[in-house]
């Protein structure tokens, strides 16, 4: 995952939290018996929580992918180094046998 989808998810989560907060502030003095306002507020809060959870999940997946990628790079580097060391050792061994 690149940073672009993460940034998009971050923006969506921030916007959802902002809208929920604005709704809460705008309707602070509203009649508690007005179920439509309360339901809308609950829906906005739920959407904000879901957006934040999705962002967290995507960030966790991105970090896990980065760990796997770094491990694979390290293994490839180690294999190349081991191959080079083996070739150097063989060259020294062959060079040592050729001298009288």
Half-sphere exposure of 3 (CA within 13 A, CB side): 0
**Is residue 44 scored above 90 in pLDDT?**
yes
pTM: 0.69
pLDDT recorded at residue 100: 55
Cα separation, 58 vs 7, whole angstroms:
10
* Long-range contacts, stretch 90-98, CB < 8 angstroms, 24+ apart: none
- What value does the mean pLDDT of the chain take? 91
Low-confidence winner among 57-61, 86-90, 96-100 (lowest mean pLDDT): 96-100
Buried b (16+ CB within 10 A) or exposed e, 50-66: ebbeebeebeeeeeeee
Cα separation, 80 vs 1, whole angstroms:
28
């Amino acid at each position: 995952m690149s940073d672009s989808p993460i940034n998009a998810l971050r923006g969506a989560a921030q916007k959802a939290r902002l809208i929920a907060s604005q709704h809460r502030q705008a309707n602070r003095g509203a009649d508690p018996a007005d179920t439509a306002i309360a339901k809308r507020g609950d829906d906005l809060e739920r959407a904000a929580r879901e957006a934040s959870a999705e962002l967290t999940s995507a960030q966790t997946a991105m970090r896990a992918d980065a760990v796997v990628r770094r491990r694979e790079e390290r293994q490839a580097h180690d294999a190349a180094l081991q191959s080079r060391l083996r070739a150097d050792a063989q060259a020294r061994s062959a060079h040592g046998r050729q001298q009288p």
